[in-house]
Amino acid sequence: MTDLMTVVDWSRGLFALTAMYHWLFVPLTLGLSVIVGVMETIYYRSRSQEWLKATKFWMTLFGINFAMGVATGIILEFEFGTNWSNYSWFVGDIFGAPLAIEGLLAFFMEATFIAIMFFGWNKVSPGFHLASTWLTTAGASISA
């Protein structure tokens, strides 16, 4: 027996590391999206600059977590195919449909409205901006 790790061991380790990060960032992102939506709703109703500052601060943290969740999620999809190819082949007909729906519906919904959420502060009406924040939250929840 040799003490060297095999390619399979390295692949399993990478999969475990990616999955751990994904499962940490995704629930945090889901919670932050609701918090940001509530704070922006309070800002929309009160027009208080303190709530606007809080919303933008937590929105930045949401964006970082969202990016990490997307990056690790895409890697996980490829790792399912490379590291668990027999499993993916066996359950692909059942497992593939929800992934396709998530990719086509929820991810494009998130991608569209998150752009408005981050870059539309002075470009769209406050009501449309608030709606885009809640639609980003809905898209993230559908993705989950």
Predicted confidence (pLDDT) at residue 61 exceeds the cutoff of 80: yes
Convert the pLDDT of each residue in 87-100 to its tens digit. Answer: 878 888 887 888 78
Question: What's the token pair of residue 51?
Answer: 């709530």
Counting residues of the chain whose pLDDT is more than 70, the rounded percentage is: 98
**Cα gap 37→104, rounded to integer Å:** 23
**Cα gap 36→38, rounded to integer Å:** 5
- Provide the whole-model pTM: 0.85
- Do the Cβ atoms of 115 and 129 come closer than 8 Å? no
**Cα gap 4→6, rounded to integer Å:** 6
Which tops the pLDDT comparison, 107 or 24?
A: 24
State the average pLDDT over residues 99-105: 80
State the average pLDDT over residues 3-10: 82
